[in-house]
Structure 1
Amino acid sequence: MEEQGSPNGKIKTTGEKLWDSTRKTLHVAGFQANKYKRIVQKKIDLASLHRKIVASHGDLGKLIDDIRESGAPDILAKNEVQELFHTLDNFKADAAALEQEIENIKVEEAPEEEEAPVEEAPDKDPEQ
């Protein structure tokens, strides 16, 4: 087998190099899969928030129309309307935070794999 010296002074065979390469590839693939899973979960949460925002807009429109029909002055100063505005603002802030989290996850890089201690294989007697 072909042998090369590694930075820590140990000699790696072709099989060991292949195994190291496979481990690194699996590590990166696992990281990417986990990253994708987290992004999908955040997007599901974001879609749910957008549905809540749409529902709140509908509630706000209905409330404003009901108040207008009752002939009340200064519709926007009503407590119920202000509460819905506050709820909408919270939903929008949460949505913006989720969008930022998604962007942060997208730019994450795979952490370097920790070097596992190399186990020494028992020496085989070549005469066997």
Structure 2
Amino acid sequence: MNKSLNIEVFNKGDGKINHECGADHVKVGQKVPTGMPETEPNTRCVSVDGDADRVVYFFTDEKGVFHLLDGDRIATLVADFLMDLIKRCGLEIKMGLVQTAYANGASTDYIVNKLKVPVACVPTGLSTTP
């Protein structure tokens, strides 16, 4: 698998968790994580939060412009891709998508009205009960 998937890990957790490198840092700052070396243009990169329940995908293009795909965009692309596969295969499979109240309303609207995929909204937050 190492010939088809090259993974390099930066900010492995030697310091304060998510310090200048987590998904929120990348999304809010619209920049690569601190400590990550410069990459070739269009190198696919991922940043997660401490427990990896949030992910952002990012790259810098040939002109040095930073591009980010957040969870809403990733979910929309995956739903679109899967719906296309289902239709091409002639399958009668029902699909749904789960989002939180923090989801981008435009993504929810697109998924429901354009892709015709029902969306369920679930609460967010940390559970304090085991």
TM-score, length basis structure 2: 0.23
Higher relative contact order (CA 8 A, sep 6+): 1
| Greater Cα radius of gyration, structure 1 or 2 | 1
- Higher percent of residues as strand: 2
